[in-house]
Amino acid sequence: MSIATTTPPQAVPQLLTLAGLPLPPGRTPVEVTGTGELRLGRGRDRLDLAFKIDGRQFRVTVRPDGDGAVCVVRAIVGDIPFSAESSARRRAVLMILDAARTLPTTRWLRERGERIALERATRIAGRVSPERILGEAVRTVAAARPFLRLLAAAHA
């Protein structure tokens, strides 16, 4: 898979290290070709990154889409308490989730009934650089952070 980019080849290992990707000795999973394309190694059809903020693991998946790419940022951000544990905490968490659903392009999902997942998909048109990918991740976390802090307080 190739994604057009403007990033110089020497910058890719530093950006991948910053993103927390393990780098195999002598070869990165992403290469920038002489024509400026971001090429994924090992025949994969997407780029996966992972990072931690405030103790939560976020995953970023980038896959080609026409002349650009789709960037999906996803994280499991908590659990919904059972009513038997604390009905007040459960109500507080559900109220926070209702308020958080006002974020544009961000989905707050209930998985298996009691896990809370955050997901944001964005289309990046044209050339895609590692900086733009990381920028999408930062925008997602920055927009969701107030709600993430409220959820953490509700669980305390």
Q: Is residue 12 part of a domain?
A: no
Q: How many domains does the chain have?
A: 1
Alpha carbons 148 and 38: distance in angstroms, whole number:
33
Mean pLDDT of the chain: 76
Continuous segment of H or E residues that includes residue 92: helix 87-100
Q: Is residue 77 part of a domain?
A: yes
Q: Is residue 136 part of a domain?
A: yes
Q: What is the CATH number of the domain that holds 55?
A: 3.30.1460
Q: Is residue 146 part of a domain?
A: yes
Full domain range(s) for residue 68:
47-155
pLDDT tens figures, 84-96: 778 888 888 889 9
Contacts of 51 by beta carbon, 8 Å cutoff, 6+ apart: 19, 20, 57, 58, 60, 137
Rounded (10°) angle between helices 87-100 and 130-155: 150
Q: Is residue 80 part of a domain?
A: yes
Continuous segment of H or E residues that includes residue 149: helix 130-155
Q: Which of 11-15, 43-47, 53-57, 70-74 has the largest mean confidence?
A: 70-74
Contacts of 98 by beta carbon, 8 Å cutoff, 6+ apart: none
* Global pTM value: 0.69
Q: Of 146, 56, 156, 155, which Cα lies nearest the Cα of 102? A: 146
Q: Is residue 4 part of a domain?
A: no
Q: Is residue 100 part of a domain?
A: yes
Instruction: Among 57-61, 62-66, 81-85, 111-115, name the one with the lowest average pLDDT.
Output: 81-85
Q: Is residue 30 part of a domain?
A: no
